[in-house]
Chains A and B, each alone.
Chain A
Amino acid sequence: MDSEETRGYRAFLKQSVWCLTSQYQVSFSFFFLFFCFVFSSWSFFFFQIWWAAGIMFQDITTLLLDHKAFKDTVDIFVDRYRDMGISVVAGIEARGFVFGPSIALAIGAKFVPLRKPNKLPGEVISEAYVLEYGTDRLEMHVGAIEPGERALVIDDLVATGGTLSAAVRLLERMGAEVVECACVVGLPEGQRRLDGKPLYILVEPRLSVNY
């Protein structure tokens, strides 16, 4: 039997419960949104780190404007490779062409350009590699190297290692022994091998802009 008092009490209860739950809903919504914000910032931060070499473009052209720094870069590679019996330096188009020939000349090795499709005339072998979206190909001249030659692969930067891996495969298909891959800029500490080949890096990618 609902007396007026009971009805009033129930109404009061309903109202109280509604107020409490709506506040709870507000609080819950607030915490949910806050959590989403924190999670997405955290994810974005780590995503940035992970894609550091791609999003924060590591521009080596300013290195080439600093004669001493450019010379030091080449000298460090030359000092490392001079006594390793390397007879082939393979440079990856196009920024590998900027560093490779100077190293080759200094250590008495030949320079072999590894190029995008249809650039090299004459007979070539080619190797596909994976890009973020799709694939590309790297080509090398047939007869550029003899089986048994010891080779060094050069590029300005290594990110995923796809291009370097394709370069290694090309050289090994022609019977060369790839001694090492060398890049000016590479991934942070811990990523020092590429498909079982040693990878030598001078500097790590910078995450902040300085120009």
Chain B
Amino acid sequence: MASADVKAQDPRIAGISSAIRVIPDFPKPGIMFQDITTLLLDTKAFRDTIDLFVERYKDKNISVVAGIEARGFIFGPPIALAIGAKFVPMRKPKKLPGEVISEEYSLEYGKDVMEMHVGAVQAGERALIVDDLVATGGTLSAAIRLLERVGVHVVECACVIELPELKGRERLGEKPLFVLVS
């Protein structure tokens, strides 16, 4: 798919991949945590990450970049600013003031809720959803549902990292998913 093409062809991917740090047994035993904070310390790799997304989306008429709290807030705004889109934060409950709509989603154990401001987006707008990593796809799916409930067309979901063994791509169904590192 697209991510494999990018991985094979673009020389910037190697630098991005090697800048990501893997921390074993965080947040609990057995989990290999993909830590993007080391990527943010590497100015060239961070710049390349944003550039790769901007190059892909700048001519797709995207007017909304939705970023998922909190690491989606790191990558989403630079992309939004570069492509001329607005940035919409998708947040945990009770963080956004004023009127919100919310969507429940499953975690490994239990549920959580994601919220978005009413009126942040208009029906018919074209949106990109950004997060640092896709695992099961639960969070991205909730974000897609939130945006589609208000009539927005979600063009694609974009993440720096994918964990393919957790089958997030399947959970997103026909919604395209673009990642830099698998």
* Chain A residues within CB distance 8 Å of chain B: 57, 59, 61, 64-67, 70-71, 74, 93-95, 97-99, 101-102, 104-105, 108-113, 115, 118-122, 141, 144, 211
**Which residues on the B side are within 8 Å of A211 (C-beta)?**
98
Whether, in the assembled complex, B166 has its beta carbon less than 8 Å from a beta carbon of chain A, the answer is no
* Smallest Cβ-Cβ distance to B116: which chain A residue: A61
Interchain nearest-CB distance for B81 vs A (Å):
6
A64-B89, A97-B74, A101-B74 given. 12 additional CB < 8 A pairs? A61-B96, A64-B77, A93-B70, A94-B70, A94-B73, A95-B73, A102-B77, A104-B46, A109-B43, A110-B40, A112-B41, A122-B26
Given contacts A110-B41, A122-B26, contact A67 B86 (CB under 8 A): yes
Given contacts A67-B85, A94-B69, A120-B37, contact A113 B77 (CB under 8 A): no
Bound CA–CA A99/B96 (angstroms): 17
Contact count A vs B, C-beta below 8 Å: 99
Bound CA–CA A108/B117 (angstroms): 33
* Smallest Cβ-Cβ distance to B86: which chain A residue: A65
**Which residues on the B side are within 8 Å of A112 (C-beta)?**
37, 40-41
A98 interface neighbour in B21, B47, B89, B98, Cβ under 8 Å: B89
* Smallest Cβ-Cβ distance to B87: which chain A residue: A64
Q: Is the CB of B37 within 8 A of A71?
A: no
* Smallest Cβ-Cβ distance to A211: which chain B residue: B98
**Which residues on the A side are within 8 Å of B42 (C-beta)?**
110
Whether, in the assembled complex, B124 has its beta carbon less than 8 Å from a beta carbon of chain A, the answer is no
Interface centre among B40, B47, B88, B89, by most A CB within 10 Å? B40
* Smallest Cβ-Cβ distance to B73: which chain A residue: A97
**Sample of 29 A–B contacts (CB below 8 Å):** A59-B97, A59-B98, A61-B88, A64-B80, A65-B86, A65-B88, A70-B81, A93-B70, A94-B69, A94-B73, A94-B91, A94-B95, A95-B73, A97-B71, A97-B73, A101-B77, A101-B78, A102-B77, A102-B81, A110-B40, A111-B40, A111-B74, A113-B37, A115-B70, A121-B35, A122-B35, A141-B37, A144-B37, A144-B41
Q: Is the CB of B43 within 8 A of A97?
A: no
Interchain nearest-CB distance for B167 vs A (Å):
23
Q: Is the CB of B81 within 8 A of A57?
A: no
Bound CA–CA A110/B74 (angstroms): 12
Q: Is the CB of A111 within 8 A of B46?
A: yes
Bound CA–CA A110/B38 (angstroms): 9
**Which residues on the B side are within 8 Å of A61 (C-beta)?**
88-89, 96, 117, 120
